[in-house]
Amino acid sequence: MKYKPVLIIVFLILIAIILIFTISESPDMEESGTEILAQNLDTPWAIDFLPDDRIIFTERGGKVSILDNGTTKIVGEINSNEVSESGLLGIAVDPEFNTNKFIYLYYTGPNGNRISRFTLNERLENETILLDNIPGAAIHDGGRLKFGPDGKLYATSGDANDRSLAQDTNSLAGKILRLNKDGSIPPDNPFNNYVYSYGHRNPQGITWNPVTGQMYSSEHGQTRNDEINIIVKGGNYGWPVYQGNDSANGYIKPLIFYQDFTLAPSGISYYNGNLYVAGLRGTQLRKITLGADGNTITGEEELFTDLGRIREAVEHNGYLYISTSNRDGRGIPQSNDDKIIRIKLN
């Protein structure tokens, strides 16, 4: 019996060693400057920032919330039609928010997908529908919404499970759309309508190099063949005629495509010569290093492969903000999912 205290101490030391080893098996989350900002969310889809640096974000079921110093406050509940991939998707804060208080949302309504403008006071109010009847379906709804360097509002739309629409420049499906803040058509759009580029299957991310204005997009392929594209006005990106690295006259090849595995890319963000791409089925944050011209790839890296499905990736003030999507019906929820995570960029 005199050895019992010693055995207890040895047992406790072994338990401590096991716990330390278990924690160290998730090296991504130990990276300096990485922290969980919010958790126990339900499919957070898009993130943007108010001028005072507070986070405003959507959850696909219809909630719009503001995250401020660890506290989440719901400021809107949108009557969106959440079925499979549809629901409340993109969000964008007006560049002149301090004077007009405008917030823009992309969501699935009764007539397909729509883009609406709201006024944010204590809550979202005064909805103004800017663009309605964007073809929608249970799958392939696109949904990313961002302001470009030119002050125009850009939106991605999927082919709404009707691939023929992607090549029709009179259809809003399978496109990257561009509109003025009041919902009117910019006079320099290439087809005299909202279409900016076409031939897309299901683009879910757009970003720009803030210095050159170069625009990039992430897009879901069919049976792999996911793409990262350089977007040009009036460009045809091939779907459904071709995808991936197939070559054909009149179609723009992707900057990079993935035929060996399914990345299922969603949010994408440019920072300091790199593209950061959220991978859903690929369960990773993918870092793509660009050449000096922005048109070539010099390296790739998989990051944060232990978080499951990653939906959003957006840079703000030298930090990357990502969200998990493990409660979207296609993932395996981990403890306290879903989460918004902040990562310090070098």
- The number of residues in the chain equals 346
**Distance of alpha carbon 90 from alpha carbon 67, whole angstroms:** 16
Q: Are 336 and 314 in contact (CB under 8 A)?
A: no
Q: Are 67 and 49 in contact (CB under 8 A)?
A: no
Is there a cis peptide before residue 135, judged by omega within 30 degrees of 0? no
Residue 149, CA distances (Å) to 153, 209, 312, 313 in order:
10, 9, 20, 18
**Distance of alpha carbon 3 from alpha carbon 24, whole angstroms:** 32
Q: Where are the beta strands (DSSP E) in 232-339?
A: 256-258, 265-271, 274-279, 284-290, 297-303, 310-316, 319-324
DSSP string, 76-143: EE-----STT-SEEEEEE-TTHHHH-EEEEEEEETTEEEEEEEEESSSEEEEEEEEEEE---SS----
Q: Are 146 and 92 in contact (CB under 8 A)?
A: yes
Relative to beta strand 256-258, strand 265-271 is unpaired
**Distance of alpha carbon 19 from alpha carbon 253, whole angstroms:** 49
Rg for the chain, CA atoms, rounded: 21
200 is a catalytic site residue: no
Active site residues: 140
